Chains A and B, each alone.
Chain A
Amino acid sequence: MIQSPEQKKVESGRDVSLDMRHIVRTNGVPILFLALSITMAAVAGLSPAFLMNEVITRFARNSLLVLSLLIPVTAGMGLNFSIVIGAMSAQAAAIAVTLWGIKGVSGFLTACLLATPLAAITGCLAGLVLNRAKGREMITSMILGFFANGIYQLIFLFLVGSVIPFNSKSMLLPQGVGVRNTVDLINIAQSLDKIWRPVISGVRIPVVTVLVSLGMCVVITFLLRTKIGQDLRAVGQDMNIAEVMGIKVDKTRIIAMILSTVIAAWGQLVFLQNIGTLNTYNSHEQVGMFSIAALLVGGASTRRATIFQALIGVILFHTLFVVSPLAGQKLFGVPQIGEYFRVFVAYGIIAVALAIHAWQDRQMRKEAIREAVLTE
């Protein structure tokens, strides 16, 4: 007879007593950033109301973009740097809506409607490419982002106004070809935020925008409970096994990319309506990097990321964004130092997370081998 795994119970019983240490070890990154944020906020001497205002605004502005990263992680494709492609789709839609002069919420919704098929198609293409680069999705998606940026520039810098008819001279560069560096999104600026923006004890809350983000959390949760969610998880754990069990791995991965890109496009629209102006050639560039840094700050890894980690990550990362230049100003008299720190943190956290991931991978393999020897 095989005994029931009594031993496991004993072990899990011991785990409880190690709870605190366990929490710290598994959540080291968010705890570190929480401590950093608090220290810097204290150094900068910020008023809580100001901080809250800033953080809530940035939370509403960025969380959808970060949430767009979750599905590819679940599908085992790592951190999807190519969400910048979704952002570009969104910007194309935003420019179109501005050109057509559709105002307010209807303008925003039109932009969403327009961005969705664009993002779906580009996401599908990205998925096709990533299916040929299994195991190297992250670097491939990053380079895909750069590549798409080239096409984006070609279209908006050279084709618009020359090949593509464009009847608004004010949006074009002086020579009449190419979109201006900055486009005032006058039609959709704040369209979502200002629907209902109550002030609660000095903090302005863009309720609708926040609700959109939370709504996305519900949608993602729903998706992961369905058959397609189960497939995504299975593919994420082991493509070969999923394939053998008859799950269409390539198709599932493409679906993950489409979903991610579309959500990212909506996220970028939410971002743009909050900012109010479009930096035609820059707004999308940092999207991937900063969203990924935020997710990692929340304690996610390239293998596992939860909605909770995404939300916590956005809050912590952007709190740091707000306080670090101010702390730099206070401490050294130079806000640039805080700014440097911020950039250092954004890229550093990605590098560290990727290194830790590789290290854990190796550790796991070693462990598996040791176990195999011991079972004999």
Chain B
Amino acid sequence: MLLVLPVELVLIEGKSKNMERARRVLEMKGITKQYFGNTVLNNVSIDLYPGEIHALVGENGAGKSTLMNILFGMPVIHSTGGFSGEVLIDGEKVELMSPAEAMQAGIGMVHQEFMLLPGFTITENIKLNREPTTKNALSRLFRSKSLDYLDVPTMRKDARAALDRLDLAIDEWAPVAGLPVGYMQFIEIAREIDKKEVRILVFDEPTAVLTETEADRLLESLRRLAADGIAILFITHRLDEVMAVANRITVLRDGETVARLNRDEAVVERIAELMVGRKVEKVELPPRAKEPSDEDIALTIDNLVVDMPGEMVRGLSLSVRRGEILGIGGLAGHGKLGIANGIMGLYPASGRVSKNGENIPLNSPEEALSRGLAFVSEDRRGVGLLLNEPIDRNIGVTAMQVQHKFLKSWPHFLPALRLEDRAELRAYAEDMIRKLDIRCLGPNQPVRSLSGGNQQKVCIAKALALEPEILFVSEPTRGIDVGAKRLVLDLLVRLNRDHNVTIIMTSSELGELRKVCDRVAIVYRGRLAGILPPDASDAEFGLMMAGRVGKEAV
């Protein structure tokens, strides 16, 4: 093992008077950050020794990226009121106000998304904006460094050295465009280690886009860099990797440090549990006459691929039982939101989806809607509602389009000319307002002026007007207050029990999935990782979301 233990470092730097502080290369103490009154980080502390790999794990929204933004002095932090707590580098308090200052202080970042220019060569990318230059007549005349020639031989030499340090045998003058993704990640790293002053390197989910062998190789590089004395902060979801390389592990949850473990005391299951760890109060759901089972499948999804940017689905197969509430969970960016959007035709999709054995043509919202599918979008204000229109028209619009409901009966042979039947629409809307308890001034109120929870109910009412057999609901409780959340969830359960609607509910909040669903499918990297019963343990959910191969439970 190529580990430099902190103990040895104490010996090396033993002369230092203030030993405890000086030997830490980085300390972040008592960091608290609020965005518009929301506390996203609460008294979080983390420290780093030279030559150490410190893993930072946590779910989406746990506060990892905010913490890193603070470390890098990102403008977004300072423009939203700064933060409290202090950052120390080599025991000295620093105030990093911009990424450039962080860079000068010796902090390097390997970005999650590649900061590479495809039209440049590997060398040009590694030396980007740090190019060595040579003087020429004009630059001397104008005393301007901007007019210096690029010193290409030195650039190549430096790039070669950095690539060699990573043991990467690739032509340093090759263009970046067309390189395999794995290479790009290494070029990013090469750029950081080429900076002579870099002592702290942050890896933000570096293996997210890599294949397994590439990831192994990356971990090997991590060890190698740590052995050179660079302190590494390693952010990841993959717990195996944490176990493989980390010296220490810090677990964040909901903006708080929930645990700091040494590797020898860490167990994957324990970390997973700490990561997810919300106690779920299980409420007794009303029983059904007939429990859904694999005998009666309502919807079959076969090898679904959806090109939804940021939520790519890459070949997902899943069967939905008739009459169940199926939860779809997973970390952000792994494709859970892409599933419903793809099936409903909002994003380009391929694969096979069939309802009761009948094939549903993809890439057409109309086809999906007319076959008894309905969708309550996660993008309530963008896709879900016509914000300036009244409640009743919002509720009726899809049904009017697809099923010619709420239209005057004449001329029946030419639906395109049929007018909206205000009276019928209004009566239906009033009924819905009563049934779903939509708090409003009446069916004429524009939905823009409703609260989030009530807007969500209008969205659900709109889907119900289609009388769907299968209802997709994405992020039903996003951005609405706690009381309204419960109402919306209760409503879904009632729909399922009383009207026998099969519901496929996608949510980032595992807790609510576990509260109302019969089964919870976890999506990982665009594919199904596995299906768990809602009462499975936190650790099981955590592991599956973090990419440990799940088993087909239930």
Contact = CB atoms under 8 A, between A and B. Distances in A.
State whether these chains interact: yes
Interface of A: 1-2, 4-5, 8, 222-223, 225-231, 233-234, 237-238, 241-242, 244-247, 366, 369-370, 372-373, 375-376
Contacts of A370: 307
A234 B314 contact: no
B489 interface: no
Contacts of A376: 314-315, 525-526
B313 to A, nearest CB: 9
B146 A227 contact: yes
Interface string B193-206: 00000000000000
A5 B129 contact: no
18 contacts: A2-B183, A2-B214, A4-B169, A4-B170, A5-B174, A5-B179, A5-B183, A8-B178, A227-B131, A228-B146, A233-B120, A234-B117, A242-B117, A244-B99, A245-B129, A366-B307, A369-B307, A376-B525
Contacts of B178: 8
Contact of A1 (B100, B149, B213): B213
Interface of B: 99-100, 103, 111, 115-120, 124, 128-129, 131, 133, 136, 138-139, 145-150, 168-170, 174, 178-183, 209, 213-214, 217, 305, 307, 309, 312, 314-315, 525-526
Given A237-B117, A241-B116, A370-B307, 10 more contacts: A2-B168, A2-B180, A225-B150, A226-B147, A226-B149, A227-B146, A238-B117, A246-B100, A246-B129, A369-B312
Contact of B147 (A4, A228, A234): A228
Contact of B182 (A2, A8, A244, A247): A2
Given A1-B213, A228-B147, A245 B525 contact: no
The A interface is mostly helix, strand or loop, or mixed, namely: helix
A234 B183 contact: no
B128 A227 contact: no
Contacts of B124: 230
A304 B538 CA distance: 54
B145 A227 contact: yes
B120 A234 contact: yes
A325 to B, nearest CB: 41
A170 to B, nearest CB: 42
Contacts of A222: 138
Instruction: Pick from A237, A366, A376 the residue with the most CB of B within 10 Å.
Output: A376
Contacts of B305: 373
Contacts of A234: 117, 120, 128-129
A373 B170 contact: no
Contact of B148 (A2, A227, A238): A227
A4 B147 CA distance: 36
A233 B120 CA distance: 9
Contacts of A375: 180-181, 209
Given A375-B181, A376-B314, A226 B119 contact: no
Contacts of A223: 147
A12 B135 CA distance: 37
A237 B115 CA distance: 11
| Pairs of residues from A and B, 3 with the lowest C-beta to C-beta distance, nearest first | A228-B146, A237-B117, A245-B129
B99 A233 contact: no
Nearest to A374: B314
A158 B61 CA distance: 63
Contact of B217 (A1, A226, A229): A1
Contacts of B307: 366, 369-370, 373
A2 B213 contact: yes
Given A237-B120, A376-B525, A376-B526, A226 B139 contact: yes
A22 to B, nearest CB: 16
A233 B175 CA distance: 14
A237 B146 contact: no
A237 to B, nearest CB: 4
B128 A5 contact: no
Given A2-B180, A4-B169, A372 B312 contact: yes
